[in-house]
Structure 1
Amino acid sequence: MKNEKGLTLVEVLVGLAILSTIMVILGGLLIDGFRHSEKAENITALQQEANLIIRELNNVHRKYDSYTIDFSKNPIIVDYTKDSFEIPLNSRYIYTFCKATEANSNPDLQEETCEDENILTITKSKNLNNLPIILEIKYTNKKDPIYIIRTTLSRLGG
């Protein structure tokens, strides 16, 4: 009997086949994980941008009785009685803004779209303590994702 201390060609090929199958599976899982991570980062960035804009709009709504917001420009222009200021927008995103109505304020409606309202004018009114709005933000160069926030700008007191 011979003392064999090596592997046959068949054993080496079987080992390589098993190893390559495992590597293909792990590589696919890794690539899929990176894709999901990038999508989650994009959604988070859209949420942060929407929250920033809504916070600024809420401050305007609480502070001034009469104001005009022009969404047609970058940055958003807010004119009030004595002065104006700007809310800067990120050029990576496309923004759509509208006042919410009964028809489009339902959060269960997924396919609803709102007409882009470039200029919103609020005049002094005690009845307008709450202003429901919809803000839609999406990337300029990507189809997915789109972030829609439905909220109410509110004044305390009344």
Structure 2
Amino acid sequence: MKRDESGLTLVEVLATLAIFSMVAVIIWSVFFQGFNFSEKAISKNFMLQESNILVTNLKRVHQKLIKYEIKSENCSIKVTDLTTSSQVQEFNHPSICFKILEINNVTGSGPKTIEPNKNANDISLKISVSDKNNSANSITINTFLYRVKGVDYQ
């Protein structure tokens, strides 16, 4: 045998493959953790934007109507104008579920009759907003529907 032969032994090749596979598994898991976190953050941001639109529309309804009924069913929030009894506004989204948890600190999704011109102008709402595809991804919004004093909304 010649003493000046060079090359890799089987043990060296196996050790290199083992180290390489451990590094690859660590990089792979960090990548997917970041990807999952990014997907959840994008979904929560989208739900926040849609809930802000919902709250803005509900405030507009509260300031405009004299007497109305609010309730949530089938992942949507329905507002019925009780002065005309026929005008129903439904707030829903194809990929988001809206549900009223509390109205004026009373648990339940309604129906609740609201008369903003009476003694209590402000209405507190607790709304759950969740992703229809992943119900574990949800947020809760606490908000007030209000009327500015001294303004005639009729």
Partner SS, residue 71 of structure 1: strand
* Deviation >4 Å, runs of 4+: none
Task: With the length of structure 2 as denominator, give the TM-score of the two structures.
Answer: 0.78
Deviations 1:31-72 (A, max 9, x none): 111121222222222222221111100011112232223433
- The runs of 5 or more residues in structure 1 that have no matched partner are 105-113
In the superposition, relative to structure 1, how do residues 94 and 37 fare at CA in structure 2: closer, same or farther (>3 Å)?
same
Considering Cα pairs closer than 8 Å and 6+ residues apart, tell me whether 1 or 2 has the greater RCO: 1
Distance 1:130 1:151 in 2: 10
- Residue pairs, 1:1-158, within 5 angstroms: 2-72=3-73, 74=76, 76-79=78-81, 81-82=83-84, 84-97=87-100, 98-101=102-105, 114-117=107-110, 119-123=111-115, 125-158=117-150
Structure 1 CA distance for aligned equivalents of residues 5 and 45 of structure 2? 60
Aligned-pair identity (%): 29
Contact 2:80 2:88 in 1 (8 A): yes
What is the CA RMSD across the aligned residues, in angstroms? 2.5
* Count of residues paired in the alignment: 146
CA distance in 2, matches of 1:100, 1:4: 86
The superposition leaves residues 69-100 of structure 1 with CA deviations (integer Å, 9 ceiling, x where unpaired) of 34336573442535725244124333321313
Contact in 2 for aligned 1:136/1:147 (Cα 8 Å)? yes
Runs of 5+ consecutive residues of structure 2 not aligned to the other structure: none
